[in-house]
Structure 1
């Protein structure tokens, strides 16, 4: 177990040194210095997350378009757009790592498919 813990710490260190993570953190710090902007960005992130992580519904695209309209003011901010893109990249990287770990181990997760 100590070897796994050590390698986990090494992986975390590598993630923290990655360009994707550092760009995300730099933009996060910049945006959230403005408390009002940070609150609006978090509200948008939460709304996106809610729509994207529930079973697909026919009107999801309409909801996403409505969100874009509602938050148009902050979406025109280049830092906000870059932050959301960086966050998406970080989430994708983390998802790929998790998928590779599951795919590499003989752990039965077929119950998730039902």
Structure 2
């Protein structure tokens, strides 16, 4: 297990050294310098999450469309947009890393309640 932990530390260092991660950190720092934009982005994300997960809405598409119109200035802001794109690239990279780690691993999780 010691080898696995050491390789995990090396992978962590490799990720931190990647252009994708460095760009994400740079964009995040720029966004944090604009607290009002960060706050608006967080409000937008919260409302979007609530719409996406509200099963009571008849037409979530209209709600999302209205939300984008309400937050048009923040969604199209260069600093915010750069951050969102950098975040998406980092998430995609991490997804690929996770998939590669789990590739060809054969293990079963036994549900104790299923017995």
Q: What's the TM-score once normalised by structure 2's chain length?
A: 0.76
Equivalent-residue separation in structure 2 for 1:74 and 1:108 (angstroms): 45
Please, what is the CA RMSD of the aligned residues?
Answer: 2.6
Work out whether 1:108 is the aligned partner of 2:108. yes
Instruction: Decide whether the 8 Å contact of 2:37 with 2:80 is kept in 1.
Output: no
Q: Which runs of 5+ in 1 are unaligned?
A: none
Q: Secondary structure of the residue that 1:108 maps to in structure 2?
A: coil
Aligned to 2:20: 20
Instruction: Decide whether the 8 Å contact of 2:31 with 2:38 is kept in 1.
Output: yes
Q: Give how far 1:65 is off.
A: 2.2
Structure 1 or 2, whichever has the larger Rg, is 2
Work out whether 1:71 is the aligned partner of 2:67. no
Q: Which runs of 5+ in 2 are unaligned?
A: none
Q: Secondary structure of the residue that 1:104 maps to in structure 2?
A: coil
Q: What's the TM-score once normalised by structure 1's chain length?
A: 0.77
Aligned residue pairs, count: 109
Distance 1:69 1:12, change over 3 A: same
Equivalent-residue separation in structure 2 for 1:38 and 1:66 (angstroms): 20
Equivalent-residue separation in structure 2 for 1:53 and 1:24 (angstroms): 27
Work out whether 1:40 is the aligned partner of 2:40. yes
Aligned to 1:61: 61
Q: Give how far 1:58 is off.
A: 7.6
